[in-house]
Amino acid sequence: MALLVRKRTVVVIMLTSMVWVFMDIFFFMRNSDFVKMSDSERLKEKVREYAVEKVTVRPPEGKEGIRDVYHTEAALHTQRHQVQTLKEQIFPPNLELESKSSVHEDFLVTDYTEDDGRYNYNAYPVIFDDFQQETEDKSEDKNDIETPPVKIPQQAKDDTESYIITHDATAKMADQKRNEEETLDYDQVDELRKKYELVTMSELMYNTPSPWVASTRKTVYDDVLITERLTNQTMKISHTENVEQRKEQLKEKISPTVTESVAATTKKATFANFMARLPFLVKNEAPGPYRNQYDPTELEETIPKHTVLSMNSVTIRKPPHSPGEAGRPVTTKKEDDAMVKSMFAEASFNVFVSNLISVERTIPDLRPTKCRTNQVADDLPQTSIIITFCEESWSTLLRTLHSIINRSPPHLIREIILVDDFSKRVHLKGKLDEYIKRFPQVRIMRTAKREGLIRARMLGAAAASGTVLTFLDSHIECNVGWLEPLLDRIRQNRTNVVCPVIDAIDDRTFAYLEAQTLRGGMDWKELKFEWRSIPSFQALGRKDQSWPIISPTMAGGLFSIQRDYFYELGAYDPELFIWGGENIEISFKIWMCGGRLEILPCSRVGHVFRKSQPYIFPGGAFEVFSHNTRRVAEVWLDDKYKKIFYALMPEALHIDYGNITDQLEFRRKCCPFKWYLENIYPDLGVPQINLQAVGEIRNLGQQDVCVDTLGGAHLGLWPCHGQGEHQSFSLDKSGTLKSGSLCVIREVGKDGEVLSMGLCKKENVMKFQHQDKELKELGDGPHVLTGRCLDITFGAGAQKFLQLNPCNGGKFQQWKFGLYL
């Protein structure tokens, strides 16, 4: 009876809970878009959640370990923003800007020319303090100078959004107005700041800011009209009305009702955000930063901004149907095949076709629509662009340069550094030096010997002076609006490392092809970069195609990073050779040491993807790549995962990886690789390795002798050479001994029984038990021993043979694998 009562009680409680939930959902759906704001205004957009991301930051100097800090992008700008002036050289003499009411952004238009209806101009964002001219009792004194604005073509206005250029007299008038402003009492400032912080703190406490919160926060900020003065950072109020009256109005705005309104709004917003996150909570598969993805372009930042500049200048006239224009493919004639083939070998892409295409060709703008109207900050950091090359073709190198210069706001490029990695081709010497003289921001460095891409980039970075380093390859084409999104994302957080979407340029036709929306991944076997589709748990959180794509790894050729942060991460490992593995290494560093790696769909750069490298790897391509990969594995993979890497790539065991003392010391300050797998790359998965041991099989009686396939069918012995290949084996948990895809099998010939390498068919595959250093032959059952062991038999002279002999525990029957898993 008691059991029945308890069951009924449980049912009643469940039914009551369901009714409550459905009622709450009903009222929420009914009122979610009509939450009351102050003055009975209604919301015009749905409640949206700002992201709260868990990030790992470096501890203070002298402290060990890692601290987890929760922060919001919105909170990054709750403090007053320090505005920095642009350098004086971008201002023409005797020109100033007249700022419109409460407008934080204007542009200076220079170098305007009109050529056959085509406009060429450069637009520079300029930041000034806010000021408003009095609208009442306007003086009619003749000394008040009104200078008419300079006439600007309509197209320029449309592209760069209303610029008003005035002369020096207007600037003097503005200074006079500023001198008339009165400073608010510090009590007033503190009270206003408390209200502003109250609105912001509601976002942090509840993780649920609504449009009401954002609107109120902006209203408070605008009402106070905080002006960041370059000389003294004081909060001032515009002299548009009686100051005392204005103070009283501000006092009335600061009341306890603000707290009540925020609490009411956040209560409803909390439920809205719970419903928005419900798919992730149910599936429980969105880890780390993927739980709260966000649109950085919609952050409530109280700083001057402007629409992304879609600059696309052209200095070389050409017909619209010229080869390759608009990114179209170029085909060649049959009679040119011989020339095409010979020139293709020079660079591993069609140099013949590339030479037919203008170095300033047009390409399609493939950005998502929203990217073209996104706002970026006026005070973006300057970048040094570093391009390394070795034996690069003339036309692709110039096309790279022109695309950067023609499609980038010039004030954002501190310099373009070309690093010539010991090229021998004539056109990359004096001819190139002469050509770049037309570009004052371009300079060239040359290495004294072949350094490779990694060290050449480090040389370029050491010579750079920009706040941000942007690394690019030498056969790319920057698209419209590519640079500002990268710099703006780094401005928002200095530990953001950002990559453009890499569109493909066909290596044969040079067609500009749109890339799919992918992210970076890797393969366990060689820690090799691979493009991977965006997993469902990440795709569900992306509400717009313009949002950044969180990426576990980067391709490595094209990315931007804050210069100081690059060196805080240790830059590239200087002991990595030539090329390969450096992109995986820096990807691990970024994520595991407190950074964030993203691909930005609003930034696109085309890249010629080659199927092979045209240059020589000193020491051999396999050796160089294996050295780099093993070095990365030894430093950044934990022991458990390191064994998986070696199980899949046993040949790497025989490659010397050098001294990693400094790298391991830095590594101890960062998160473990397990954290990376669980939070950043959970969809990689961990292979189930069914292996006992891998690597060479060295005899303990003859220390210099290893088991070898001898490059043929029979298994034998050969001096250990430590290079893997024919001496690389694996022993799985069932006892199967393999080299590559072949298994050790037993064959009976005229000379008796021999051990050979053959197809892994069940009927003839031999199995071994590795116990007490011996390789004991297994019989028909899993634990049935035949009593024979792998042994060395000595023949006439110095001959040695590999045979199965009765087990005797002798030293010539003892073997050691390169690595035990």
| pLDDT grade for 795, boundaries at 50, 70 and 90 | confident
φ, ψ for residue 568, nearest 5 deg:
-65, -30
CA distances from 162 to 109, 122, 134, 155 (A): 10, 14, 22, 10
Q: How far apart are CA 606 and CA 599, in angstroms?
A: 14
**pTM of this structure:** 0.60
Q: What is the DSSP letter of 714?
A: B
- Pair of tokens at residue 48: 């949206």
| pLDDT grade for 490, boundaries at 50, 70 and 90 | very high
Q: How far apart are CA 167 and CA 94, in angstroms?
A: 6
- Residue 773's CB is within 10 A of a number of other CB atoms, namely 13
Task: Give the residue-averaged pLDDT of 263-273.
Answer: 43
> What is the assigned CATH class of domain 622-681?
mainly alpha
CATH code for the structural domain at 691-820: 2.80.10.50
Amino acid at 475: H
φ, ψ for residue 637, nearest 5 deg:
-95, 135
Rounded CA Rg of the chain: 34
Residue 486 contacts residue 501 (beta carbons within 8 Å)? no
CA distances from 53 to 75, 294, 560, 648, 678 (A): 12, 10, 21, 35, 15
CA distances from 405 to 359, 411, 441, 444, 478 (A): 12, 11, 9, 16, 9
pLDDT number for residue 654: 76
Burial of 100 (0-12, 13-18, 19+ CB in 10 A): middle
- Pair of tokens at residue 188: 């007033």
Q: What is the DSSP string of 618-633?
A: TT-HHHHHHHHHHHHH
Residue 174 contacts residue 101 (beta carbons within 8 Å)? no
The closest alpha carbon to 264, from 210, 312, 321, belongs to 210
Percent of the chain with pLDDT over 70: 61
pLDDT number for residue 81: 33
pLDDT number for residue 666: 92
CA distances from 290 to 287, 551, 569 (A): 6, 10, 23
Task: Give the residue-averaged pLDDT of 353-368.
Answer: 94
Domain ranges of the chain: 2-34, 52-72+184-284, 88-136+144-180, 361-608, 622-681, 691-820
**Range of lowest pLDDT (28-42, 246-260, 620-634, 805-819):** 28-42
Top pLDDT among 16 and 26 is at 16
Burial of 782 (0-12, 13-18, 19+ CB in 10 A): exposed
Q: Is 721's pLDDT higher than 70?
A: yes
Cβ partners under 8 Å of residue 554, min gap 6: 497, 499, 520, 529, 583, 586, 587, 597, 599
User: At how many degrees (to 10) do helices 243-253 and 211-224 cross?
Assistant: 160
CA distances from 91 to 64, 104, 310 (A): 47, 18, 21
**Topology at the third CATH level for domain 361-608:** Spore Coat Polysaccharide Biosynthesis Protein SpsA; Chain A (3.90.550)
Q: How far apart are CA 768 and CA 803, in angstroms?
A: 13
- CB hemisphere CA count around 643 (13 angstroms): 12
| pLDDT tens string 518-564 | 999 998 878 889 999 888 878 877 778 899 999 999 998 899 999 99
| pLDDT tens string 747-767 | 876 667 888 888 887 677 888
Q: How far apart are CA 792 and CA 812, in angstroms?
A: 6
| pLDDT tens string 183-237 | 434 444 445 444 444 443 333 333 333 333 344 434 443 433 332 332 233 333 3
Residue 425 contacts residue 496 (beta carbons within 8 Å)? no
Residue 736 contacts residue 782 (beta carbons within 8 Å)? no
